[in-house]
Amino acid sequence: MITIFAPDGIPEVVAGDNLGEIISSNCELENHDAVVVTSKIVSKAEGRVVHLDPNDDSAFEKLVLSEAKRVLRRRGKLLITETFHGFICANSGIDQSNVDEGCAVLLPKDPDLSARRIHKQLLARTGLTLGVIISDTFGRTWRKGVTDVALGCAGIAGILDLRGTRDSRGRTLVATEIAVADEIAAAAELAKPKAAGTPVVIVRGLHTELFRRASIAKEIVRHPSEDLFR
């Protein structure tokens, strides 16, 4: 059985905060918990908040372009970009909700590294086997609505590779690289009170074999050469 819950009492995060400290002191963690952390508080802790020039109407778009490797599509004010990380998302993942007026939050520079940092901080404080996932909310190409996905991870799989395992009839399964980190991020979103900006969610009861060294950049980000639609 899997249980998912959002710990109360996580304070407003500011630059320089130790997120492992904040999380472990607000939540009784257990072995094999996955700790899902919204990228926004990671960015805030890492100082990835910028002030937009109020006299420049195109300040936001310039910022989006400065975080982009390229623009895939443009529709009105919405740019679909490939970020320097290789993520494809709206406006390079830059967000202006739950932040001071006139400010914008950039994605963490290296979300896998952010996850590893929090993972190390949690390990030092708890001694537990944990996974850390940095999540954000992305749209999808062919389906309406947004879902939470994993931008970075540490101590927990990006992909669960079932290639070579057999189905209930003993036939080898194909196409079975399950993006578990994205499923965990999506599951965590369901436990958030609506629009409350809940920054941390715990997912408990996952298969223990998911807990290993891992990277979203290496396991989930699709290289343009393998891409059928870019």
| Near its own copies in 176-205, by CB under 8 A | 176-180, 182-184, 186-187, 189-191, 194-197, 203
d(CA 176, CA 192): 29
Interface with its own copies in residues 65-104 (CB under 8 A): 72-73, 75, 80, 87-88, 90, 96-101
Of all helices (H) and strands (E), which one includes residue 194? none
Q: Please, what is the minimum distance in Å from the beta carbon of residue 167 to its own copies?
A: 4
d(CA 184, CA 182): 5
CB neighbours of residue 199 within 10 Å? 25
Tokens of 111: 């979300």
Query: Which one, 22 or 149, has the nearer CB to its own copies?
Result: 149
Query: Which one, 68 or 121, has the nearer CB to its own copies?
Result: 68
- Is 165 an interacting residue with respect to its own copies (CB under 8 A)? yes
The structure tokens 């300040």 sit at: 59
Exposed/middle/buried for residue 8 (C-beta within 10 Å: 0-12, 13-18, 19+): exposed
- Is 142 an interacting residue with respect to its own copies (CB under 8 A)? yes
DSSP, collapsed to helix, strand or coil, labels residue 165 as coil
The structure tokens 């396991």 sit at: 219
Query: Which one, 33 or 189, has the nearer CB to its own copies?
Result: 189
Q: Please, what is the minimum distance in Å from the beta carbon of residue 54 to its own copies?
A: 16
- Is 174 an interacting residue with respect to its own copies (CB under 8 A)? yes
Q: Which phi and psi (to 5°) does residue 106 adopt?
A: -85, 160
Q: Which phi and psi (to 5°) does residue 90 adopt?
A: -75, 135
- Is 163 an interacting residue with respect to its own copies (CB under 8 A)? no
- Is 16 an interacting residue with respect to its own copies (CB under 8 A)? no
Q: Please, what is the minimum distance in Å from the beta carbon of residue 120 to its own copies?
A: 25
- Is 225 an interacting residue with respect to its own copies (CB under 8 A)? no
Residues 6+ apart with CB under 8 A from 224: 82, 230
| Count of positions on this chain that bind its own copies (CB under 8 A) | 72
Interface with its own copies in residues 120-139 (CB under 8 A): 137, 139
Interface with its own copies in residues 30-69 (CB under 8 A): none
User: Where in 12-112 does DSSP place strands (E)?
Assistant: 33-38, 49-51, 68-75, 78-83, 88-90, 103-105
Q: Please, what is the minimum distance in Å from the beta carbon of residue 20 to its own copies?
A: 23
- Is 29 an interacting residue with respect to its own copies (CB under 8 A)? no
Q: Please, what is the minimum distance in Å from the beta carbon of residue 125 to its own copies?
A: 23
Query: Which one, 11 or 124, has the nearer CB to its own copies?
Result: 11
